[in-house]
C-alpha cells in the first residue's frame, strides 16, 4: 500500500506542475499540499472517523481537481476572461494523465477503506456487469441531456446569457482531439466527485444522502463556474450552475450507490460529451473520413444499447420463465428449469457489482 501511495504521489506532483506552473504558483503549492495530506492520511491513519474520511475526501478531491477549480474561479474575476480553448495533443495527454490519476485515487481509497472494514462484495460475471452497467450508462446519458435542456430553459426564463464552454474553432484534426479529450471527462470527474463519496460513506440512507449530495454537488459546481463567466447577471448564473451540479451529482451519486460501481456513470458522462462535441465550432469538409469520425458517438451508443438490451432481456426472462414453468411445465425441459432457477437466484446480484 505504501509503495502504491508513493507512486501516486509522484504522479500527482508531475500532474500538478504540468497543470499549474504556467498559471499560478500559489495554486501549485496548495494542490501539492493537498496531495501530501491525502497520502499521509492513507499511510498513517485508518478511516475510522467521519473527520478522517471527510479530510481524506477533501484532500483527494483537491489533489485532483484544484487546478481546474482555480482556473474556473479565476474566470469570474474582473479582467479575467475564459478564452477559447483549442484542442491539442498536449491537452489530450494532460486529460489522460488526469484520468489515470483520478482512477488511481479511487483505487487507493477503495483499498484503504476495504482493508479496514473488509466489506467488499464479490464481483459478478463480467457479461452481467456489462449489461447492468450499460443500462445505467444510458440512464445517466438521458439524465445529463435532460439537465442540459433544463439549463437552457433556465437561461431563457431568467434572461441569463449563454456562455457555453468556449471550444476554439478547428478542422477535422481538432474535432478528433476534442472528442477524445471530452470522452475522458467522465474518468476525470466521476471517480473523484461521486466514487470517493460512496467509498467513504458506503451505506445509502435518507439521512445521509442529502448532505453527501450537497457535498459532491458543491464540489462539482466549483469546477464548472466558467459557465457563469462574462455574464451580466453573474450571481444568478452562479446559482444556476450550483443547482445544475447539485441535480447532476445527486443522480450520479444515486446510481453509484445502487450499483456499487462508478464506471457506468463515467461511461455515460463520456458519451454525453461526445455528442456535445458534434455541436462544436468545427469546420470540416464532407469526406468519408469525416463521416467515419462523426459516426463514432453513434457506434459507441449502439454497442452500449446492445449490452443494455441483453440485460433487459435477461431481466424479463427471470420474471417470465418461472411463470411459464409453473403454468405450462410441459413446455419447459428439466435443464431449462434448472437454468431458470439459477437465473432467479441471481436476480439480486446486480446490487453487488464491483469495479
Three-state DSSP string of 200-234: HCCCCCHHHHHHHHHHHHHHHHHHCHHHHCCCCCH
Distance from C-alpha of 295 to C-alpha of 11, rounded to nearest angstrom: 35
Is pLDDT larger for residue 330 or for residue 175?
A: 175
Is pLDDT larger for residue 343 or for residue 78?
A: 78
pLDDT above 50 for 347:
no
In the numeric block, the cell 470540416 is attached to 284
Q: What is the mean pLDDT of the chain?
A: 83
Binned at pLDDT 50, 70 and 90, residue 346 comes out as: very low
Q: Which of 10-24, 184-198, 213-227 has the lowest mean pLDDT?
A: 10-24
Mean pLDDT, residues 162-179 taken together: 78
Q: What is the pLDDT of residue 354?
A: 45
What are the boundaries of each domain within the chain? Answer: 1-117+128-283, 290-354
In the numeric block, the cell 440485460 is attached to 311
Angstrom CA distances, 208 to 76, 119, 121, 218, stand at 32, 19, 21, 16
**Residue 157, number of CB atoms within 10 A of its CB:** 8
In the numeric block, the cell 450499460 is attached to 134
Q: Could you give the count of Cα atoms lying within 13 Å of 242 in the half-sphere of its Cβ? A: 9
Counting residues of the chain whose pLDDT is more than 90, the rounded percentage is 39
Binned at pLDDT 50, 70 and 90, residue 10 comes out as: very high
- Residues whose CB is less than 8 angstroms from the CB of residue 220 and which lie 6 or more positions away in sequence, other chains included: 189, 193, 245, 248, 249
| Helix, strand and coil in the chain, % to nearest 5 | 80, 0, 20
Binned at pLDDT 50, 70 and 90, residue 122 comes out as: low
pLDDT above 80 for 350:
no
In the numeric block, the cell 475526501 is attached to 57
Binned at pLDDT 50, 70 and 90, residue 342 comes out as: very low
pLDDT above 90 for 286:
no
pLDDT above 80 for 19:
yes
Q: What is the pLDDT of residue 163?
A: 66
Binned at pLDDT 50, 70 and 90, residue 355 comes out as: very low
Please, what is the end-to-end C-alpha distance for the chain in angstroms?
A: 19
Q: CA angle 236-239-245, nearest 5°? A: 145
Joined together, the cell numbers standing for residue 162 give 449563454
Q: What is the pLDDT of residue 98?
A: 95
Distance from C-alpha of 5 to C-alpha of 11, rounded to nearest angstrom: 10
Is pLDDT larger for residue 46 or for residue 326?
A: 46
On whether the CB atoms of residues 274 and 296 are closer than 8 A, the answer is yes
Q: What is the pLDDT of residue 345?
A: 45
In the numeric block, the cell 498559471 is attached to 23
Give strand ranges (E) for the chain: none
pLDDT above 60 for 197:
yes
Q: What is the pLDDT of residue 120?
A: 55
pLDDT above 50 for 58:
yes
pLDDT above 70 for 323:
yes
On whether the CB atoms of residues 218 and 246 are closer than 8 A, the answer is yes
Q: What is the pLDDT of residue 186?
A: 94
pLDDT above 80 for 109:
yes
Q: Read off the pLDDT of residues 136-157 as tens digits, 9 standing for 90 and up.
A: 888 899 988 888 888 888 888 8
Amino acid at each position: 500500500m505504501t509503495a502504491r501511495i508513493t507512486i501516486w504521489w509522484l504522479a500527482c506532483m508531475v500532474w500538478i506542475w504540468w497543470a499549474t506552473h504556467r498559471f499560478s504558483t500559489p495554486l501549485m503549492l496548495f494542490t501539492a499540499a493537498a496531495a501530501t495530506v491525502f497520502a499521509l492520511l492513507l499511510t498513517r491513519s485508518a478511516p475510522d472517523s467521519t473527520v478522517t474520511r471527510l479530510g481524506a475526501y477533501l484532500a483527494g478531491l483537491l489533489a485532483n481537481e484544484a487546478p481546474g477549480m482555480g482556473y474556473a474561479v479565476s474566470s469570474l474575476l474582473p479582467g479575467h476572461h475564459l478564452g477559447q480553448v483549442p484542442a491539442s495533443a498536449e491537452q489530450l495527454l494532460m486529460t489522460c494523465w488526469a484520468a489515470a490519476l483520478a482512477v488511481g485515487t479511487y483505487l487507493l481509497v477503495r483499498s484503504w477503506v476495504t482493508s479496514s472494514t473488509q466489506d467488499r462484495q464479490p464481483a459478478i460475471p463480467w457479461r452481467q456487469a456489462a449489461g447492468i452497467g450499460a443500462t445505467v450508462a444510458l440512464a445517466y446519458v438521458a439524465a445529463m441531456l435532460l439537465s442540459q435542456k433544463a439549463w437552457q430553459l433556465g437561461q431563457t426564463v431568467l434572461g441569463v446569457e449563454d456562455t457555453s464552454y468556449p471550444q476554439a474553432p478547428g478542422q477535422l484534426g481538432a474535432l478528433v482531439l476534442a472528442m477524445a479529450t471530452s470522452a475522458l471527462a467522465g474518468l476525470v470527474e466521476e471517480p473523484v466527485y461521486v466514487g470517493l463519496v460512496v467509498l467513504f460513506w458506503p451505506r445509502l440512507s435518507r439521512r445521509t444522502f442529502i448532505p453527501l449530495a450537497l457535498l459532491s454537488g458543491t464540489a462539482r459546481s466549483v469546477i464548472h463556474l466558467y459557465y457563469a463567466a462574462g455574464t451580466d447577471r453573474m450571481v444568478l448564473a452562479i446559482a444556476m450552475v450550483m443547482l445544475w451540479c447539485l441535480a447532476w451529482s445527486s443522480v450520479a451519486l444515486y446510481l453509484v450507490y445502487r450499483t456499487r460501481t462508478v464506471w457506468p456513470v463515467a461511461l455515460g458522462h463520456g458519451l454525453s460529451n461526445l455528442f456535445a462535441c458534434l455541436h462544436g465550432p468545427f469546420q470540416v469538409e464532407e469526406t468519408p473520413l469525416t463521416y467515419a469520425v462523426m459516426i463514432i458517438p453513434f457506434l459507441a451508443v449502439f454497442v452500449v444499447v446492445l449490452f443494455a438490451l441483453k440485460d433487459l432481456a435477461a431481466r424479463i426472462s427471470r420474471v417470465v420463465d418461472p411463470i411459464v414453468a409453473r403454468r405450462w411445465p410441459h413446455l419447459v425441459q428439466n435443464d431449462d428449469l434448472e437454468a431458470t432457477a439459477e437465473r432467479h437466484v441471481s436476480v439480486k446480484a446486480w446490487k453487488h457489482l464491483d469495479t
